[in-house]
Structure 1
Amino acid sequence: QYVDGSAFHHYGGNISALSQVRNAHPDKNIYFTEQWVGAPSNFAGDIQWHIEQLIIGATRNWSRNVLEWNLAADPNNDPHTQGGCTACLGAITINGSNISRNVAYYIIAHASKFVRPGSVRIASDMPSGLPNVAFKTPDGKKVLIVLNKNAGTQTFNIRFNNKNVSCTLSSGSVGTFVW
């Protein structure tokens, strides 16, 4: 009665474990509260893994949120808690008055700009090599986030209410579609 839900990090195991916990306790919430990007970043590899596992994977497995660790750091990846991660790349790097956006910024941006508080996940098909997740926003818009894991450019269709649009994503690209 005093527990709202469970919080997860994804440093091992399978993201589908969130659904296993949800199925065992459907009256409790699931939260995804931490995953870090290591410095130096492999931008292409990091954005693909984090989009697939967290933005798509966590939310398709009942998570009400996704947080990247950490929000901001200096060029030495400081500050950090004693004993904590010394190589965690912030979503932004602050160097005096200069701010640089890093891969975690773009990972979260694919969702946070369009999937606003109060949005709910809605069903979407999962064609081979195109993991995705869809949402309905409080103002009734639909948002679809798609990752192209295929070796080449992929063309696919978005169908909704008897309307169809053809979209193309380059290999390794992420697209956020809003209508």
Structure 2
Amino acid sequence: MDGFGFTLSQGSAQHLLQMSEEGRKNILNELFGKGENQIGVSYLRLSVAASDLNETPFSYDDLADSLAVDPEVLQFDLGPDRLDVLPILKEILTINPEIKLMASPWSPPAWMKDNKDTRGGSLLPEFEEAYARYLVKYIQEMEKEGVQIDALTIQNEPLHPGNNPSLLMLPDQQARFIGVHLGPAFREAEIKTKLVVYDHNADRPDYPITVLNDSIANPFIDGSAFHLYGGTIDALSKVHQAHPDKNLYFTEQWIGAPGNLAGDLSWHIKNLIIGAIRNWAKTVLEWNLTSNPSLTPHTDRGGCDRCLGAITLDGDSVVRNPAYYIIGHASKFVEPNSVRIDSNLEEGLPMSPF
């Protein structure tokens, strides 16, 4: 196991920064510490630039001129992340310096896309090399900030171009992008960050299998990531059976406000904390770390306006929501590098012993 945790969105970081220094210290220690009254979160997912839980979409290389391009990515700047995500991340790293981080892009810069928009569209083939350069710079610039990215998924929900931001990326393009551009660029830059494909629902195991079947892309790929807004969790095992040398990660599941502890806890424990792990997942991550009472920020034209964080923050007031308890059931007791042992299944008793 690599760990259990949440996504630290820019919105989550903003909520935490609105707390008093003492209040923020207390809740971060509760979440990421390993003491008696702490839950020991061991894994976080970050968005590469904006996710849909931002007030507005942005990339690290936005250009004022709508006709301009920057193929050498000379204007790359972590910019907005320095205001929220990075300060919070550095506080978390002082509590748990061993926490693992996965990053996922929601969209390339709009000038790289065929629709020139943050929402939907596809990456233009002529900018695949530039996008690889962009992702290399992200890893390098985060490292300069003292933040080591353990794994990078190629695209959040590549078959869902209706979000804002988002990108449609079909499996043949993802395979080509990794094999021809991103993998070689990481190798040349001596980047050790793992490359993880798919990062979408369990109803399409054919997508990661197609990418992994590509002989040029395959050597660069560590594994595949999944959500469970469609399909069934045993689809992860289909990917494992096709490529048993590759890892599997469960990276996102949301809970809609206001939440229902009894129903949410039982479904998520059965399908994710037990189900994903019985089907070879090395992580279980919920979406996302914090919300506020108004469930903001989120982008327009597709941003999630009902996503309930693991905790709801209103100043220094903290409400612990279902995802806090779902992840806490595992993160408090199952440390990174724990191993799931083989076991039989009794009817009506799901279990995943470590």
**Shared fold per TM-score greater than 0.5:** yes
TM range (shorter): 0.7 to 0.9
Matched residue type, 1:27 = D
Asked whether 1:47 is paired with 2:265, we answer: yes
User: Which residues of structure 1 form unaligned runs of 5+?
Assistant: 136-179
The aligned counterpart of 2:317 is 98
Q: How does 1:1-179 map to 2 (within 5 A)?
A: 1-82=219-300, 83-135=302-354
Q: Distance in 2 between matches of 1:28 and 1:81?
A: 34
Higher relative contact order (CA 8 A, sep 6+): 2
Q: Secondary structure at 1:100's aligned position in 2?
A: strand
Gaps of 5+ in 2: 1-218
AA aligned opposite 2:246: K
Aligned residues: 135
TM-score norm. by structure 1 comes to 0.73
Residue by residue, what CA displacement relative to the aligned partner does 1:41-99 show, whole Å, maximum 9, x if unpaired?
Answer: 12111100000000000000000000000111111122334422110110000111111
Give the residue type in structure 2 aligned to 1:21. V
SS of 2:282 mapped into structure 1: strand
RMSD: 1.1
More helix by share: 2
Distance 2:319 2:235 in 1: 34
For 2:347 and 2:220, the matched residues in 1 are separated by: 41
Cα separation, 2, equivalents of 1:64 and 1:133: 13
Structure showing greater Rg:
2
Identity %: 64
Give 3-state SS (helix, strand or coil) of 1:114's partner: coil
Q: Give the secondary structure class of the aligned counterpart of 1:121.
A: coil
TM-score (norm 2): 0.37
| Residues 19/72 of structure 1: CA separation in 2 closer, same or farther (3 Å cut) | same
Q: Secondary structure at the match of 2:313?
A: strand
Greater shift in the superposed pair: 117-126 or 56-65 = 117-126
Structure 2: distance between partners of 1:67 and 1:80: 20
Q: Give the structure 2 partner of residue 151 of structure 1.
A: none
